[in-house]
Amino acid sequence: MLKILSSFTALFKDKAPAAPVLPPLVSEQGVVDSRMCGLVDALQSGWFNHASGELASGFRIGAEDVVLDVGCGDGAATLFAARCGAEVIFSDTDGAKIERLARQVKAVPARAAQALVCDTDPLPLDDRRATRIIAMEMLEHVDHPAQVLAELVRVGRPGALYLLTVPDPVGEHVQQGLAPASHFQKPNHIHIFERETFAALVAEAGLVIESRQSSGFYWSMWMCLYWASATQQEGATLDQIKAPYPPLLDEWAQTWHQLLTLPGGAKVKDKLDGFMPKSQLIIARKPD
């Protein structure tokens, strides 16, 4: 999910260990906030489950864990792990984001924290350092995904759990016909991973796949509608597009929010998430 998750850091602004209170979904003007609607959609897909300590369904984080979040962006996953009391290590090539995230981590009960401004290949970490490794929406940006995965396997302890996401190919192929060429050039998406290709990449790195999931039809459609708007930003990616959004996007958020409140809305969401998700997710384990 998502450099989408960079928009979810509003979840983690308070200091209390309990699950944070969500900001308002609907503005005083009656407009549904696109980012908050996406957050509600993600919560319904099993993300950010504070009750169970699961960042995503099947990926539990405890205070005993050492969590490595590579390509962390604005750090929603790092902050979730920190709130679980884990030791957190977070890295990105953007020094400003790392500095900002380091300040935020100090406000939550992480057992320890280490901030790294670096490329993922290599990582300045010892072998077998982490018990939980997160790489969300970053492998599509790197020149050599297999080398990056090998580095992530190196720093994982035996039995370490991995949460890996990349954009799903269905939505990516649709966007190829809509987005400017720059969207699929460096530093943006330079790889499109077919589903079985992604699974093979993970398995060839030496990891055992435990589950596969998909989510985010809402965001796939949101981006398609964005490319139809007259206010496109050159080279824009989802995490870079800022409010105010074109009216069409606000209307789409309103429609999706209404769907999620209906008795049959969850079933429709589940079917569409499988049809054209924003992200494909693999949870895998390093053999003991």
Rounded to an integer, what distance in angstroms lies between the CA atom of residue 286 and that of residue 273? 28
Rounded to an integer, what distance in angstroms lies between the CA atom of residue 221 and that of residue 278? 9
Q: What is the mean pLDDT of residues 252-257?
A: 94
pTM: 0.91
Percentages helix, strand, coil for the chain, rounded to the nearest 5?
A: 40, 20, 40
Q: Residue 199 pLDDT > 90, yes or no?
A: yes
Q: What is the pLDDT of the chain when averaged over all its residues?
A: 89
> Domains in the chain and their CATH numbers?
2-17+28-285 (3.40.50.150)
Best CA proximity match to 210, nearest among 57, 101, 83, 40: 57
Q: What is the pLDDT of residues 140-193, one digit of tens each?
A: 999 999 999 999 999 999 999 999 999 999 999 999 999 999 899 999 999 999
- Phi first, then psi: give them for residue 140, nearest 5 degrees: -70, -10
Tokens describing residue 135: 């790489």
Q: Residue 3 pLDDT > 50, yes or no?
A: no
Q: What is the pLDDT of residues 201-241, one digit of tens each?
A: 999 999 999 999 999 999 999 999 999 986 766 556 777 78
Q: Which helix (H) or strand (E) holds 152?
A: helix 145-155
Residues counted in the chain: 288
Q: Which helix (H) or strand (E) holds 103?
A: helix 95-105
Instruction: Look at residue 90 in the predicted model and tell me its pLDDT.
Output: 98
In the numeric block, the tokens 């005083």 are attached to: 28
DSSP state of 11: G
